[in-house]
Chains A and B, each alone.
Chain A
Amino acid sequence: MSLFSDPRWGEALAHLPDYLGNHVRVSVAALALGLVVSLPLAIAARNRRVVRGALLSLASIVQTVPGLALLALFYPLLLALAALTLTWFGFGFSAFGFLPAVLALALYSMLPVLRNTITGLNGVEPAILEAAQGVGMTSLQSLFTVELPLALPVMMAGIRTAAVWVIGTATLSTPIGQTSLGNYIFAGLQTQNWVFVLFGCLAAAILALAVDQLLALIENGIRNRSRLRTALGGLGIAVLVVATLVPSMARSSSSYVVGAKTFAEQYVLSALIAQRLRAAGLSATSREGLGSNVIFEALKSNDIDVYVDYSGTLWANQFHRTDIKPREELLGELKTTLARENITLLGELGFENAYALVMPKKRAEALGIHSIADLAAHAGAMSLAADYEFFSRPEWAALQKVYGLSFRAQRQMQPDFMYAAVASGEVDVIAGYTSDGLIAKYDLVVLEDSRHAIPPYDAIVLLSPKRADDPTLKAALVPLLGKIDIANMREANLRAAGGDATSSPDVVARWLWEKIGKQ
Chain B
Amino acid sequence: MPTAPLIAYAHVGKSFDGGSSPGRVVAVDDVSLHVAAGEFLAIVGGSGSGKTTLLRLANRLIDADAGTVTVEGADVQTVDPVQLRRRIGYVFQSGGLFPHLSVADNIGITPKLLGWPATEIAARVDELLDLVRLDRAQHRDRLPQELSGGQRQRVGVARALAAKPRIVLMDEPFGALDPLTRDALGDDYRALHNKLALTTVMITHDMTEAILLADRVAVMRGGRLLAEGTPGELSTSRDPYVGELLRTPRRQAERLGALLPQGGTA
Interface contact B97-A135, CB-CB below 8 Å: no
Interface contact B82-A137, CB-CB below 8 Å: yes
Q: Which of B83, B93, B94, B110 contacts A135 (CB 8 A)?
A: B110
Interface contact A137-B98, CB-CB below 8 Å: no
Interface contact B113-A141, CB-CB below 8 Å: yes
CA separation between A309 and B92, bound complex, in Å? 74
Q: Jot down 9 A-B pairs with beta carbons below 8 A, ordered by A.
A: A130-B92, A133-B61, A135-B113, A136-B83, A136-B110, A136-B113, A137-B113, A150-B99, A150-B100
A368 within 8 A of B: no
Closest CB of chain A to B218's CB: distance in Å?
A: 21
Tell me which residues across on chain B come within 8 A of A137, comparing CB atoms.
82, 109, 113
Closest CB of chain B to A146's CB: distance in Å?
A: 6
Also in contact, A146 and B98, with CB within 8 A (given A134-B85, A137-B113):
yes
Output the nearest chain A residue to B83 by Cβ-Cβ distance. Answer: A136
CA separation between A141 and B85, bound complex, in Å? 14
CA separation between A427 and B113, bound complex, in Å? 76
CA separation between A134 and B159, bound complex, in Å? 11
CA separation between A264 and B183, bound complex, in Å? 84
Interface contact B96-A131, CB-CB below 8 Å: yes
Tell me which residues across on chain A come within 8 A of B163, comparing CB atoms.
136
Nearest 7 Cβ contacts at the A-B interface: A136-B86, A131-B96, A136-B85, A134-B90, A135-B110, A149-B100, A135-B109
Closest CB of chain B to A156's CB: distance in Å?
A: 14
Tell me which residues across on chain B come within 8 A of A136, comparing CB atoms.
82-83, 85-86, 110, 113-114, 163
Closest CB of chain A to B241's CB: distance in Å?
A: 29
CA separation between A138 and B92, bound complex, in Å? 18
CA separation between A76 and B99, bound complex, in Å? 50
CA separation between A135 and B157, bound complex, in Å? 12
- Considering only residues 80-118 of chain B, those with a C-beta below 8 Å from chain A are 82-83, 85-86, 90, 92-94, 96-100, 109-110, 113-114
Contact flags (1/0) for A120-141 with B, using CB distance below 8 Å? 0000000110111111111001
Closest CB of chain B to A343's CB: distance in Å?
A: 62
B153 within 8 A of A: no
Closest CB of chain B to A442's CB: distance in Å?
A: 66
Give the size category of B's interface with A.
20 to 34
- Considering only residues 397-442 of chain A, those with a C-beta below 8 Å from chain B are none
A residues whose Cβ falls under 8 Å from a Cβ of B: 127-128, 130-138, 141, 145-146, 149-150
Closest CB of chain A to B172's CB: distance in Å?
A: 12
Beyond A127-B96, A131-B98, A138-B82, list 10 extra A-B contacts (CB 8 Å).
A130-B92, A134-B61, A134-B85, A134-B90, A134-B92, A135-B159, A136-B86, A146-B98, A149-B100, A150-B100
Tell me which residues across on chain A come within 8 A of B159, comparing CB atoms.
135
CA separation between A149 and B163, bound complex, in Å? 24
Output the nearest chain A residue to B143 by Cβ-Cβ distance. Answer: A225
Which one of B82, B90, B96, B97 has the highest number of Cβ atoms from chain A below 10 Å of its Cβ?
B96
CA separation between A133 and B96, bound complex, in Å? 11
Interface contact B82-A128, CB-CB below 8 Å: no
Closest CB of chain B to A225's CB: distance in Å?
A: 8
Interface contact A135-B90, CB-CB below 8 Å: yes
Q: Which of A128, A133, A149 contacts B85 (CB 8 A)?
A: A133
CA separation between A131 and B96, bound complex, in Å? 6
Closest CB of chain A to B164's CB: distance in Å?
A: 13
Interface contact B82-A134, CB-CB below 8 Å: no
Closest CB of chain B to A155's CB: distance in Å?
A: 13
Tell me which residues across on chain A come within 8 A of B86, comparing CB atoms.
135-136
Closest CB of chain A to B60's CB: distance in Å?
A: 9
CA separation between A137 and B159, bound complex, in Å? 14
- Considering only residues 230-256 of chain B, those with a C-beta below 8 Å from chain A are none
CA separation between A132 and B100, bound complex, in Å? 13
CA separation between A478 and B126, bound complex, in Å? 87
Output the nearest chain B residue to A139 by Cβ-Cβ distance. Answer: B82
Contact flags (1/0) for B65-85 with A, using CB distance below 8 Å? 000000000000000001101
Interface contact A134-B59, CB-CB below 8 Å: yes
Tell me which residues across on chain B come within 8 A of A145, comparing CB atoms.
98
Tell me which residues across on chain B come within 8 A of A135, comparing CB atoms.
85-86, 90, 109-110, 113, 159
Interface contact A127-B100, CB-CB below 8 Å: no
CA separation between A238 and B133, bound complex, in Å? 47
CA separation between A150 and B145, bound complex, in Å? 14
Tell me which residues across on chain A come within 8 A of B94, comparing CB atoms.
127
Output the nearest chain A residue to B86 by Cβ-Cβ distance. Answer: A136
Tell me which residues across on chain B come within 8 A of A133, comparing CB atoms.
61, 85
Tell me which residues across on chain B come within 8 A of A128, comparing CB atoms.
96, 98-99
Output the nearest chain B residue to A133 by Cβ-Cβ distance. Answer: B61
Closest CB of chain A to B266's CB: distance in Å?
A: 40
Closest CB of chain B to A417's CB: distance in Å?
A: 55
CA separation between A150 and B82, bound complex, in Å? 22
Output the nearest chain A residue to B159 by Cβ-Cβ distance. Answer: A135
CA separation between A128 and B94, bound complex, in Å? 11
Q: Which of B97, B100, B113, B114 contacts A131 (CB 8 A)?
A: B97
CA separation between A135 and B108, bound complex, in Å? 10
Tell me which residues across on chain A come within 8 A of B59, comparing CB atoms.
134
Also in contact, A130 and B61, with CB within 8 A (given A136-B85, A150-B99):
yes
Output the nearest chain A residue to B84 by Cβ-Cβ distance. Answer: A136
Tell me which residues across on chain A come within 8 A of B61, comparing CB atoms.
130, 133-134
CA separation between A209 and B244, bound complex, in Å? 67
Tell me which residues across on chain A come within 8 A of B98, comparing CB atoms.
128, 131-132, 145-146, 150
Which one of B90, B92, B100, B163 has the highest number of Cβ atoms from chain A below 10 Å of its Cβ?
B100
Closest CB of chain A to B156's CB: distance in Å?
A: 9
Output the nearest chain B residue to A134 by Cβ-Cβ distance. Answer: B90
Closest CB of chain A to B18's CB: distance in Å?
A: 19
Closest CB of chain A to B117's CB: distance in Å?
A: 18
CA separation between A130 and B92, bound complex, in Å? 9
CA separation between A499 and B87, bound complex, in Å? 78
Output the nearest chain B residue to A129 by Cβ-Cβ distance. Answer: B96
Output the nearest chain B residue to A146 by Cβ-Cβ distance. Answer: B98
Closest CB of chain A to B221's CB: distance in Å?
A: 24
Output the nearest chain A residue to B169 by Cβ-Cβ distance. Answer: A134
CA separation between A136 and B113, bound complex, in Å? 7
Which one of A131, A134, A138 has the highest number of Cβ atoms from chain B below 10 Å of its Cβ?
A134
CA separation between A146 and B98, bound complex, in Å? 7
Tell me which residues across on chain B come within 8 A of A134, comparing CB atoms.
59, 61, 85, 90, 92, 96
CA separation between A446 and B237, bound complex, in Å? 109
Interface contact B92-A127, CB-CB below 8 Å: yes
CA separation between A145 and B110, bound complex, in Å? 12
CA separation between A137 and B98, bound complex, in Å? 13
- Considering only residues 154-211 of chain B, those with a C-beta below 8 Å from chain A are 159, 163
Closest CB of chain B to A261's CB: distance in Å?
A: 54
CA separation between A260 and B251, bound complex, in Å? 95
Closest CB of chain A to B65's CB: distance in Å?
A: 19
